[in-house]
Amino acid sequence: MGNRACTTNVQGGSSATETYAYDNLNELTSRTVGGSASSYTNDAVGNTLTGGSRTNTWDSQNRLVQCVNGTGSAQKSSVMTYGSDGLRRRMTTTNSDGSQTRTDYVLDGSNVVAETIQNRATSGGTCGQPPSVVPTVSLVSAVFLPDSSQLAANCSGV
At 109-135, the pLDDT tens digits run 878 788 788 875 544 444 444 444 444
pLDDT tens by residue, the chain, 158 residues: 688 999 988 888 888 899 999 999 999 999 999 889 999 999 999 999 999 889 999 999 898 999 999 888 888 888 888 887 777 888 888 888 888 888 888 878 878 788 788 875 544 444 444 444 444 555 555 555 443 333 333 333 33
Reference 114, options 134, 85, 138; nearest CA is 138
pTM attached to this predicted model: 0.62
The angle formed by the CA atoms of residues 144, 147 and 153, to the nearest 5 degrees, is: 20
CA–CA distance, 106 with 38 (Å, rounded to integer)? 36
Domain coordinates in residue numbering, the chain: 1-52
